[in-house]
């Protein structure tokens, strides 16, 4: 699966990229850079950060910043294409108040927000509550 994702996003397939992508595939929730570092056996920090930047730029992953939390990263839906400069699939970022995990929750449609005098190109909706695992 890792190879297909990398090829689809026009990224060179390397053992390290496959290993980093596998860390994302094994998690249902968003993860921090520290989580990635903890999951890798051996790695060069510069190579890891370059890999994360490449994954973000190509729409493999996206960043999530919840108030009061560290930046987390999550896999993008297959339709994301960062060549357009926009994160293109409809989801909200949901953080569980009990376990603190952050999930990307797909929705059919995001509410349309209009701000007079401004053009909204991208919006992010964040919600907090209790996740299914903690309920």
Residue 69 pLDDT: 87
Reported as a single tens digit per residue, the pLDDT across 13-50 is 999 999 999 999 999 999 999 999 999 989 999 999 99
Q: How distant, in Å, are the alpha carbons of 23, 47, 88, 100, 101 from that of 76?
A: 14, 21, 9, 20, 17
Q: What pLDDT, in 10s, does the model give residues 15-25?
A: 999 999 999 99
Please give the annotated binding residues for Zn(2+), written as ranges. 96, 99, 131, 134
Where do the domains of the chain lie? 2-129
Q: What are phi and psi for residue 58, nearest 5 degrees?
A: -95, 0
Please state, as a whole number, how many other Cβ atoms lie within 10 Å of the Cβ of residue 22. 13
Task: Look up the CATH architecture of domain 2-129.
Answer: Orthogonal Bundle (1.10)
pLDDT of residue 1 exceeding 90, the answer is no
What confidence tens digit (pLDDT) does each residue in 59-118 have? 899 999 988 889 999 998 765 655 554 556 678 999 999 999 999 998 888 888 899 999
Annotated binding site: 96, 99, 131, 134
């Amino acid at each position: 699966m890792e190879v297909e994702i990398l090829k689809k996003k026009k990224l060179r397939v390397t053992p390290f990229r496959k290993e980093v992508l596998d860390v994302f595939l094994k998690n249902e929730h968003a993860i921090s850079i520290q989580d990635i570092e903890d999951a890798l056996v051996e790695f060069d920090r510069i190579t890891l950060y370059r890999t994360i930047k490449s994954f973000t730029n190509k729409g493999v992953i996206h960043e999530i910043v919840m108030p009061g939390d560290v930046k987390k990263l999550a896999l993008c839906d297959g339709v994301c294409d960062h060549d357009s400069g926009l994160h293109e699939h409809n989801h909200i970022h949901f953080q569980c108040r009990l376990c603190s995990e952050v999930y990307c929750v797909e929705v059919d449609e995001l509410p349309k927000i209009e701000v007079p005098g401004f053009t909204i190109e991208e919006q992010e909706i964040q919600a907090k509550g209790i996740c299914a695992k903690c309920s």
